[in-house]
Chains A and B, each alone.
Chain A
Amino acid sequence: MTLFARYRILLPVLSLAILLAATFYMQPRAMSYFGVNLLFNLAVPIALATIAQMCIIMVNDIDLSLGAFVSLVACVVATFLNDTPLLGLVILLALVLAYAALGAVIHALDLPAIVVTLGMSFVWGGLALFILPSPGGSSPDWLRTLMTVKPPFVPMAVVASVLIAGITHLLFIRSGLGTVLRGVGGNARSVARAGWPVIRLKALAYGCAGLFGVLAGMALVGLTTSADANIALRYTLLSIAGVILGGGEFTGGKVSPVGAVIGALTLTLAASFLSFLRLSPDWQIGAQGAILILVLTARLLFTRRDAQA
């Protein structure tokens, strides 16, 4: 039974498949272009945010500010990027650089990432309120069009998820630099010994997180067409759960971009599934928690059995 240890991606895929099968069983009408689109509608921004969180977890840190950051990006997109696209782009670029700088500072001063990002969550939240004191703004048209495009055969959300998974897999698993970045999480000392500047690698990992956070905010505005300062606060915890569901671990650089996207899809689907279950809305959040615990328990059982084998 080394199957699950060997192919870590198998368990996340299996959980998603089982959940999807159960959903289709409960609600056969969901098995259509329109139905699938509805099921996974909000998955794209969550998947991007999960990838962002994964970049941080990849180097053994954790980001408690991601939800606030995505909200801030959403506010920038719905105002500046819509009204003055050039200024909007500059601001978004500055945000990515700020993330990279954060990574460098955390490494250089050996600060606990959990506290620094906690502080940053206030800063991002404050900036968002500054830009958009009350809900409003509107999505740039091109973004709206992009997010609601209807490709043939397969809905947009699925195409986008596959694209995100594919591209990030290339970036973080296949590419040489991505490999070194994962090495930082696995054994930073041996990476430093081989002559790599770990501080720049850390900054790069954080910069990537910033980039995907920006993309998540943009995708979110494209779907919701407007923004508010608290729009994505729950993404912080969702993204952490997504990474772990996708087979990632908090330490050791063990992450999987494909798994992270699958984790995000599972979390999104869990919400839809529970509403099909005619479960009272009261229990939907709780059932999500229960699903999370169940999947992690299943994983523990499989890995433990593998360890004994």
Chain B
Amino acid sequence: MHSAAAAAAPIVALTDAAKHFGAVRALDGVSLSISPGECLGLVGHNGAGKSTLVNVVNGGLSPSAGTVAFPASGAGSALGAGVRSVFQELSLCPNLTVAENLRISHAALKGLRWRGQAREEIAQALDQVFPGHGIAADAPVDSLSIAQRQMVEIAIGFAPRGTEARLVILDEPTSSLDAGIAEQLLSHIKRFCAAGGAVIFISHMLGEIFAVATRIIVMKDGRVVADEPAGRFTRQGLVDAMGHVAPDAAAVEAARSFGETVVTTPEGLTARRGEIVGLSGLAGHGQAEALARLYLGATSSWRAPKAAPMVFVAGDRGRDGVLPLWSILRNATVSILPRIARRGLVDRAEESRIAADWKARIGIRTEDVTNPILSLSGGNQQKVLFARALASDAPVVVMDDPMRGVDVGTKQDVYAMIRAEAARGRTFLWYSTETEEVCQCDRVFVFRDGQISAELSGADITEERILSASFEMAEA
């Protein structure tokens, strides 16, 4: 299988491909070719550049530098070259049926009998990948479970659709599938590759990567740091290649004593007064949802007391944090308005004083706090959101991966500020995708599949322990 693959022209070839978003080098010069018969396992931390690489390969993004070519087919576009993607976020039309969704990506289905053909083709594809799937071709997608939707998406990815699938990109395809169904997918991938197709397989389940990949590449900071046949890696070697070396300066801090328990959630998350509690694990395993539930439950949509019981620092700034039409000043003070108001009117002098104070304390880089918030860089916007939360007197601070896009120097400042506030008796619940940040915490809960898979404290908080609790190492 391998020798045959090496002889054929690659399906896709990237030469020094790079993609920049502003100053961020999401993809920093990657050369890579994928030949027929190969199954490429792609691993790396969140933000390592996997999604960007995938989007450059499938034509969703055009590279800032370098080239993408499709030598095997000679086609000019990814679509023409038979490159298919199954995305992590569900991309079906929920209002249509399973067969109708195939129609969306299969323009060649025409005529009065298209519906029958579509039904047959999707049923065949489903049977091939997931024998005994039990999904009716006429079922509307929004009546299916998440796992069934993912199965349909995968089946559409492999379906012939008039041409032929040559390279199928699967981004975390098994994240909502149970073990048996995932096993079916893995054996289908092997069959597909043996028949001359190629697959890029992204997964955090290292067991799956080893089970299916013929070659593994490891990405870190927008670059490929390892590219070897699968047999040359050990599980530990792979984790090492992905990981950073955690600075253990913070971990040696003397254990502190905490007050009474102030937070308990149904998941089993607890936090004591003055404690910094970390939530870790891979992205999308229920940490953000747990925090949002906690916050929404503790506060009301109908009343805003002068002293808020809890504040929230958003990490997804656009969705959860920034009020885009407003100035820095107004964004920073929105959570403390009831406190600084007299008879319902905002005390603007007090407001400006507080904003100026926090601009200095947290180092927001701007001439004037009345500038629009969107004039700031992402990291500085994030500082405004920190200021918003810390300016309030709330005893509990909930932070949903708040350091995205923040530079290293600022991070150190914010860590120090969080520790100082914790020492004054505030409680922090801190979800982070970066292990370095989690190591700042007094106690860490690791999440997997929406549940707490480990609780670590003190010297146990190490990158290794967290990784092994995040990945399903037990699986073969």
Contact = CB atoms under 8 A, between A and B. Distances in A.
- Do A and B truly interact? yes
A216 B292 CA distance: 49
Contacts of A5: 143
Contact of A186 (B94, B107, B109, B115): B94
**How many interface residues does chain A have, given as a range?**
20 to 34
**Residue from B93, B101, B110 with most neighbouring chain A CB atoms (10 Å):** B93
Contacts of A252: 94-95
Contacts of A182: 93, 95-96, 100
B95 A6 contact: no
A254 B91 contact: no
A299 to B, nearest CB: 16
B91 A189 contact: yes
A31 interface: no
B93 A195 contact: no
Nearest to A184: B93
B79 interface: yes
B238 to A, nearest CB: 31
B405 interface: no
A145 interface: no
B92 to A, nearest CB: 7
B415 interface: no
Given A6-B143, A183-B100, A190 B92 contact: yes
Contacts of B60: 193
Contacts of B110: 176
B104 A254 contact: no
A179 B114 CA distance: 11
B103 interface: yes
A186 B103 contact: no
A305 B234 CA distance: 51
Given A6-B143, A193-B60, A195-B79, A183 B94 contact: no
A187 B89 CA distance: 12
15 contacts: A6-B143, A174-B115, A176-B109, A180-B103, A182-B96, A183-B93, A183-B100, A183-B104, A193-B60, A193-B91, A194-B104, A194-B107, A196-B104, A252-B95, A254-B95
* Smallest CB-CB A-B distances: 5 pairs: A186-B93, A186-B95, A194-B105, A190-B91, A183-B93
Interface string A156-191: 000000000000000000101001101101110111
Interface in B75-120: 79, 91-96, 100-101, 103-105, 107, 109-110, 114-115
A224 B109 CA distance: 44
Interface of B: 60, 79, 91-96, 100-101, 103-105, 107, 109-110, 114-115, 143
A196 B93 CA distance: 14
Contact of A176 (B79, B93, B94, B114): B114
B78 to A, nearest CB: 10
Interface in A251-273: 252-254
A180 B94 CA distance: 12
Nearest to B58: A193
A77 B94 CA distance: 40
Contacts of B93: 182-183, 186-187, 190-191, 253
B136 to A, nearest CB: 11
Given A183-B95, A196-B104, A253-B93, 13 more contacts: A176-B109, A176-B110, A179-B104, A182-B95, A183-B93, A183-B96, A190-B91, A190-B104, A193-B91, A195-B107, A252-B95, A253-B95, A253-B96
Given A5-B143, A193-B60, A195-B107, A185 B114 contact: no
Contacts of A194: 104-105, 107
Contacts of B107: 194-196
A196 B110 CA distance: 15
Contacts of A190: 91-93, 104
Contacts of A179: 96, 100, 103-104
Contacts of B91: 187, 189-190, 193
A183 B140 CA distance: 12
Contacts of B103: 176, 179-180
A156 B113 CA distance: 32
Contacts of A193: 60, 91
A15 B114 CA distance: 34
Contacts of B115: 174
Interface in A180-212: 180, 182-183, 185-187, 189-191, 193-196
A5 B92 CA distance: 19
Query: Which of B92, B96, B143 gathers most chain A CB within 10 Å?
Result: B96
A189 to B, nearest CB: 7
B90 to A, nearest CB: 9
Contacts of A253: 93, 95-96
B333 to A, nearest CB: 30
A194 B107 CA distance: 9
